[in-house]
Chains A and B, each alone.
Chain A
């Protein structure tokens, strides 16, 4: 491949100059072993796709700086690397200098998209999304019940959304399934570099919703963050919505009475829930653990193993761009939990695990299958 001159946009340079020139090359974002903090590896892509350091957070910073300094570099090879990233953010949470290598990589995706340099697999994934999905949706079902109203967004987590909607709908709530499997908020387009289009899709999805619309439960945390970042009002995670209702005693949560014994679960944390801007924080994870414990569910792992555990490969466009690596990432999360049910908060991760042959339930699916929602004291 011949190197060609490629100019980074001024806006990119202005946004990331500090990151590019403060990186000390310490390699914490490439590979680190830090047992006290539960870190055995850092980058799922390096572990399961390619060990070439160009695929790491530091690789993105080095490449961006090299492009900025007009060093001979093939932009298509850089594009290949920045598009083979799950966006898990381990590199950022580990960086001692609080630099933003993952954000640099994501921003480079946007730059290469605008320059028409995205890898073929990413372009094909974008085209497929445009052809099969739309942000223009209407509620498919009429609300049932006359009480506590809530909408549940289908889309990436359509099957889980169906289960959650059915679980929430016991007559005491007005539950609507919002959209279907073809609905899309645009988050996946944004992951693939089409940021402006992703923003437009988010607007199209939420614009028809009246200011008095009920809360919209979003089961995929990437989508949740995407909608929130674009100013969507009243979008909420399932744990957060349940927490508000339980606290106000509008309903009560119970284990199904027909269970022979309380289930045992292993909780798998979701990368999307690392404490980063525009992402929901660890409150949902803590709530799930506390709530399940209060229900009598036996949780097999004392705490989430680590905020730095390797990504399952569900996000960042990984299943589209590097499906084999994405599958290996999911299979690598098999922690030998035996009979325990593996549960994760993010419905998209759960769907990816399932597609990779790994039985993992989203928390919504778990609640739908093992719990009931009854009347609360305030009802």
Chain B
């Protein structure tokens, strides 16, 4: 952006909170990912949807790129302003607009952090369906835009399943409400009304189709009790078939969280806690559940999980529960579990979706990458969903010396995962190359993009889309 243009735009936003000094723009260059940073020209913090409308209308006038940022704790580069322009920081829109326990809905502005939502709902004995592992800083708007996962994934799979409706401002400044709230007189109470699921268009879209200015989430009762159980299997194949069976029998119904851990992770955690633990007793793969429900239901499901594990050659493995998982969940260090991956240096994360029967293929990719890129430390874990898994592939590198060198390794990781039948999850910019390979899918996205944002000002570079005038 030229200085004159920047000055003109900044002048038009004089009534808004804006950051223009280089030292304040640094924080908006990147998210937690290894995707290259961008260079924002200006950051705006609108206070409400009306101000978002004015920002987008102004940006559209000059074709200025706009990126939207919440907590910035995602790892796919969706908020990195590669095309420069304006970053809309949702921190100024952090109000809880409505809690309607009768309708089972909470409506929030996009900048509300999950910690604030949970605190507001606690007196009602309620919670929301998905809480990302970076709850203290992650925003609801960001979670919606990036398909958040975390606590709740076994029951809901993804953040999108927990959204009853949205309010969105389009590139030209038009505001729209989706779901039942398309009817002003009705408000938010159901998602699938009138016609196609317009809410879904904006979920996981990394703000390329519009800027979310309000989110209606379903409410769920807080569990009366909780318990953890860890199960060990000889290998990932057995664990994968077990997980498919769990999902088929809906034994995820009371699972607050579920995850799978490969042998290296299990060994490291158990041996750190019990150095004398017999290594030949360590399982090849571990599946862990954090169950939340009435105690009787927990007891029933726990027994069922143990029995089912036995049918797949598995058994309870309490050592991992004690060494790691129970503490992770009960001490609420899961809030840190994401950032905790960075304890060595930094890491790139490629999150993909995969069916349970591809678990061994997913781990085989990890093994191949370890052989081909031995200079880096590779790790993997899976999050259990209502159907299928989310597979997180992590690669640790030294930011200072390996920042550029890590990129080809991450690119190759993406290629191999897709070739193995995994699907990019939380696309952002990190998976852009792979998404461009899904030509029919991308073609439809581009047609929608041209209709909603013909100048391509929103989220330029995200989702593999490259539509702009």
Contact = CB atoms under 8 A, between A and B. Distances in A.
Given A33-B116, A54-B21, A26 B338 contact: yes
Contact of B400 (A17, A35, A39): A17
Nearest to B28: A53
A27 to B, nearest CB: 5
B346 A32 contact: no
A3 B22 contact: yes
A22 B342 contact: yes
Given A22-B345, A59-B24, A34 B45 contact: no
A327 B19 CA distance: 24
A34 to B, nearest CB: 4
B224 interface: no
B130 to A, nearest CB: 17
Nearest to A97: B342
The size bracket of the interface on B is 35 or more
B116 A27 contact: no
A300 B438 CA distance: 63
Given A26-B32, A31-B113, A63 B26 contact: yes
A93 to B, nearest CB: 13
B398 A21 contact: yes
B345 A21 contact: yes
Contacts of B400: 17, 20-21
B138 to A, nearest CB: 9
B28 to A, nearest CB: 8
Contact of B72 (A3, A21, A27): A27
B87 to A, nearest CB: 11
B126 interface: no
Contacts of B340: 96-97
A78 interface: yes
A97 B21 CA distance: 28
B433 interface: no
A33 B137 CA distance: 7
Contacts, number: 111
B113 A33 contact: yes
A222 B345 CA distance: 32
Given A33-B119, A34-B115, A63 B23 contact: yes
A52 B17 CA distance: 9
A226 interface: no
A81 interface: yes
A275 interface: no
Nearest to A25: B32
A73 interface: yes
A36 interface: yes
Contact of A52 (B24, B72, B116, B399): B24
A62 B27 contact: yes
Interface string A25-63: 111101111111001000000000001111010110011
A66 B26 contact: yes
B30 A52 contact: no
A32 B21 CA distance: 24
Interface string B91-123: 100000000000000000000011110110010
B125 interface: no
A27 B71 contact: yes
Contacts of B115: 32-35, 39
A31 B91 contact: yes
Contact of A74 (B23, B45, B114, B345): B23
Contacts of A63: 23, 26
Contacts of A24: 32, 339, 342, 346
B346 A96 contact: no
Contacts of A53: 19, 24, 26-28
Contact of A35 (B28, B119, B338): B119
A63 B21 CA distance: 12
A77 interface: yes
Interface residues of A, number: 37
A72 interface: yes
Interface in B185-234: none
A108 to B, nearest CB: 11
Which of B32, B339, B340, B398 counts the most A-chain CB atoms under 10 A from its CB?
B339
Interface in A275-291: none
Interface in B19-52: 19, 21-24, 26-28, 30-32, 45
B399 A77 contact: no
A60 to B, nearest CB: 10
Nearest to B344: A22
B277 interface: no
Interface string A88-117: 000000001100000000000000000000
Which of A21, A39, A78, A81 counts the most B-chain CB atoms under 10 A from its CB?
A21
Nearest to A76: B23
B124 interface: no
Contacts of B378: none
A166 B115 CA distance: 48
A32 B24 contact: no
Interface in B332-369: 332, 335-336, 338-340, 342-343, 345-346
Contacts of A97: 339-340, 342-343
Contacts of A59: 23-24, 26-27
B118 A77 contact: no
Contacts of A33: 113-116, 119, 136
B135 interface: yes
B157 interface: no
Contacts of A35: 115-116, 118-119, 122
Given A22-B399, A27-B71, 20 more contacts: A24-B32, A25-B32, A26-B73, A26-B134, A32-B115, A32-B137, A33-B114, A33-B115, A35-B119, A35-B122, A51-B45, A53-B27, A54-B23, A59-B23, A59-B26, A63-B26, A74-B23, A77-B21, A78-B23, A97-B339
Across the A-B interface, the 8 shortest Cβ-Cβ residue pairs: A33-B115, A96-B339, A32-B136, A53-B27, A35-B119, A62-B26, A34-B136, A54-B24
